[in-house]
């Protein structure tokens, strides 16, 4: 039986040995993976292998202080610090998240020129003016403190001090490599973006960090992904006690990784998680109500196109907004529903425009009325063999009602737990629900602010088209 203090035999998978070796010499690496995938393990293993040339920042790096401590040169300071941390890691009975860096001391250990650079970058990224001041004005023997916009740094936000910690570590010329666990901690998305842009810019690294041969980040934030050099991003995963590493080599892999880091949910970006294009008003009323009742927390948009001929127009708008639909986030999240009788060549045309063929649902009969819940209809009309359509009317057991009247009755009677026709379940509902509620499904799409704006514009454009078509139909 394993003792409760025994750590798991975690190691890098043999197939990932080359990738791990390349990380040790890369100028920039961004490790991404789920919680407990092994990112922090890789950082600590790198710390052991790289030795005293590497500086390490763990997640527990919040710091506050009032005054700076005087700096006295200490022989072998760097080696002793590394050996102390290494002993701490080796003897620990749990994961160690602490950082060896003491911000108060680290700032004091910077040269005057390095501190000037630190304050210049802080001003650039955070818009704050920082300087070194005496606690007793006019007395150079008094202790010094950091003044930020007229007040002690101890009164700044934790995020401000966390950014200062990151920058101080990067500017320390005693080290040639920096390992950072979760650089996004405590930082607003805006500051994450500003810091990531600064750090990921090769020109900025060359200008400010010429001493820094390599930086390795372990992150859950898509902001820190390197979108210019895709192979700088490494996906970390776990197979039992083995940690696997795989560099991103294609834009599709980067897109999937970004979407995973965003939580695999379009709802978090106020976008529909799926879009269903239908022909008519009754199709829209029935399917939108049914899906809302079955999955009230989902955001599926059912869009009426006023006839199958208009579907090409809607998709043309989508292509204008999203570009190549097949490579967009909605590649397999757009469904089209058409009747058995539809325009010649429509299906092939939709596929050519980027829709996946399996997402084009063609009913076996000509009308949404054939996939209404049978039990709901029988409650009013009694048992029946099937509806008979007569132009705009539906005949059920010799009862004749308009399609609109039947639709309103069915929609108002829905509860969400009815037994649905097999065709409806197999062709639309089950594939849709599997898509929405399988969090690990691969996503082929580029998630970025411009694309979010494009998708939002697309939705607005589609609604404009639908509104215009509805107005035309009413004329």
In tens, the pLDDT along 54-66 reads 999 999 888 899 9
What is the rounded distance in angstroms from the CA atom of residue 252 to the CA atom of residue 264? 15
Beta strands in 305-431 (DSSP E): 334-338, 360-362, 388-390, 393-396, 399-402
User: Cβ(99)–Cβ(58) under 8 Å?
Assistant: yes
pLDDT value of position 79: 80
Distances, alpha carbon 10 to alpha carbons 13, 41, 89, 97, in Å? 9, 8, 14, 17
Domain 45-217, architecture per CATH = 3-Layer(aba) Sandwich (3.40)
| Cα–Cα distance, 133 to 4 (Å, whole number) | 51
pLDDT in tens, the chain (475 residues): 677 778 889 999 999 999 999 999 999 999 999 999 999 999 999 999 999 999 999 998 888 999 998 887 777 777 877 787 777 777 666 777 777 788 998 999 999 999 999 999 999 999 999 999 999 999 999 999 999 999 999 999 999 999 999 999 999 999 999 999 999 999 998 899 999 999 999 888 889 999 999 999 999 998 999 989 999 999 999 999 999 999 999 887 887 788 778 665 665 555 778 889 999 999 999 999 999 999 887 788 898 888 877 888 888 777 766 677 887 778 888 999 999 999 899 999 999 988 999 999 999 999 999 999 999 999 999 998 889 998 899 999 889 999 999 999 999 999 999 999 999 999 999 999 888 765 433 333 333 334 444 454 555 555 554 445 544 544 4
pLDDT in the model for residue 419: 95
Collect all residues with Cβ–Cβ distance below 8 Å to 296 and sequence separation of at least 6: none
CA 242 remoteness from chain centre: 25
Q: What is the structure's pLDDT at 115?
A: 95
CA–CA gap between residue 90 and residue 116 (Å, rounded): 37
d(CA 75, CA 162) in angstroms, rounded, equals: 28
What is the pLDDT, as a whole number, of residue 438? Answer: 55
Under 8 Å between Cβ of 57 and 99:
yes
Q: What is the pLDDT of residue 322?
A: 66
| Other C-beta atoms lying within 10 Å of the C-beta of residue 369 | 21
Query: Would you kindly state where each structural domain of the chain is located, as residue ranges?
Result: 45-217, 266-373+414-474
CA distance 56 to 35: 19
pTM score of the predicted model: 0.65
For residue 206, which of 28, 13, 454, 443 has the smallest C-alpha distance?
Answer: 28
**CB-CB contact of 172 with 106 (8 Å):** yes
Distances (CA, A) of 229 to 111, 225, 233: 33, 9, 8
Q: Which two tokens stand for residue 219?
A: 């992150």
Q: Classify domain 266-373+414-474 by CATH number.
A: 3.40.50
Q: What is the longest distance spanned by two Cα atoms in the chain?
A: 103
CB 300 within 8 A of CB 333: no
Tell me whether the CATH fold assigned to 45-217 matches the one assigned to 266-373+414-474. Answer: yes
- Rounded to the nearest 10 degrees, the angle between the axes of helix 309-322 and helix 449-474 is 160
Report residue 54: phi and psi, to 5°. -105, 140
Q: In what order do the strands lie in the sheet with 360-362?
A: 300-304, 274-278, 334-338, 360-362
Cβ–Cβ under 8 Å, residues 413 and 376 = yes
Tell which phi-psi region holds residue 356, choosing left (phi > 0), alpha (psi between -120 and 50) or beta.
beta
Cβ–Cβ under 8 Å, residues 356 and 275: no
**Quick one: which H or E segment has residue 32?**
strand 28-32
The span from the CA of 81 to the CA of 76, in Å, is 9
Instruction: Look at residue 69 in the predicted model and tell me its pLDDT.
Output: 86
Phi and psi of 427, rounded to 5°? -90, -30
- State the first-to-last Cα distance of the chain, in angstroms, to the nearest integer: 80
């Amino acid at each position: 039986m394993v003792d409760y203090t025994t750590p798991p035999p975690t190691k890098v998978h043999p197939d990932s040995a080359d990738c791990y070796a390349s990380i040790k010499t890369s100028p920039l690496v961004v490790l991404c993976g789920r919680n407990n995938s092994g990112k922090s393990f890789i950082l600590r293993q790198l710390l052991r292998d790289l030795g005293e040339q590497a500086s390490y920042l763990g997640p527990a790096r919040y710091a506050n202080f009032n005054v700076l401590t005087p700096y006295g040169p200490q022989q072998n300071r760097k080696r002793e610090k590394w050996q102390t941390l290494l002993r701490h890691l080796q003897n620990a009975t749990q994961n160690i998240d602490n950082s060896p860096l003491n911000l108060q001391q680290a700032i004091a250990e910077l040269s005057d020129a390095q501190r000037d650079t630190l304050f210049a970058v802080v001003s650039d990224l955070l818009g704050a003016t920082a300087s070194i001041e005496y606690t007793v004005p006019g007395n150079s023997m008094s202790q010094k403190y950091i003044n930020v916009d007229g007040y002690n740094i101890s009164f700044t936000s934790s995020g401000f001090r966390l950014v200062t910690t990151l920058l101080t570590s990067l500017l320390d010329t005693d080290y040639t490599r920096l390992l950072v666990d979760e650089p996004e901690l405590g930082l607003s998305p805006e500051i994450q973006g500003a810091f990531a842009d600064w750090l990921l810019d090769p020109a900025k690294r060359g200008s400010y960090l010429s001493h820094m041969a390599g930086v390795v980040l372990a992150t859950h934030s898509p902001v820190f992904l390197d979108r210019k050099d895709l192979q700088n991003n490494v996906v970390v995963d776990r197979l039992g006690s083995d940690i696997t590493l795989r560099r991103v080599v294609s834009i599709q892999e980067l897109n999937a990784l970004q979407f995973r880091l965003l939580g695999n949910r379009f709802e978090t970006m106020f976008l529909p998680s799926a879009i269903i294009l239908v022909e008519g008003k009754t199709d829209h009323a029935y399917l939108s109500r049914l899906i809302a009742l079955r999955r009230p927390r989902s955001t599926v948009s059912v869009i009426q196109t006023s006839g199958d001929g208009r579907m090409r127009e809607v998709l043309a708008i989508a292509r204008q907004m999203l570009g190549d639909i097949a490579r967009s986030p909605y590649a397999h999240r757009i469904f089209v529903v058409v009747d058995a009788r539809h325009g010649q060549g429509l299906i092939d045309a939709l596929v050519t425009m980027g829709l996946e063929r399996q997402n084009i649902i063609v009913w076996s009969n000509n009308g949404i009325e054939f996939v209404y819940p049978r039990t709901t209809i029988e409650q009013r009309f009694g048992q029946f063999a099937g509806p008979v359509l007569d132009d705009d009317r539906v005949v059920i057991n010799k009862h004749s009602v308009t399609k609109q009247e039947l639709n309103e009755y069915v929609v108002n009677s829905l509860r969400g737990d009815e037994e649905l026709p097999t065709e409806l379940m197999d062709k639309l509902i089950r594939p849709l629900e599997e898509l929405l509620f399988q969090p690990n499904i691969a996503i082929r799409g580029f998630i970025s602010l411009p694309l979010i704006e494009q998708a939002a514009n697309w939705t607005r454009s589609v609604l404009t088209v639908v509104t215009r078509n509805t107005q035309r139909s009413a004329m």
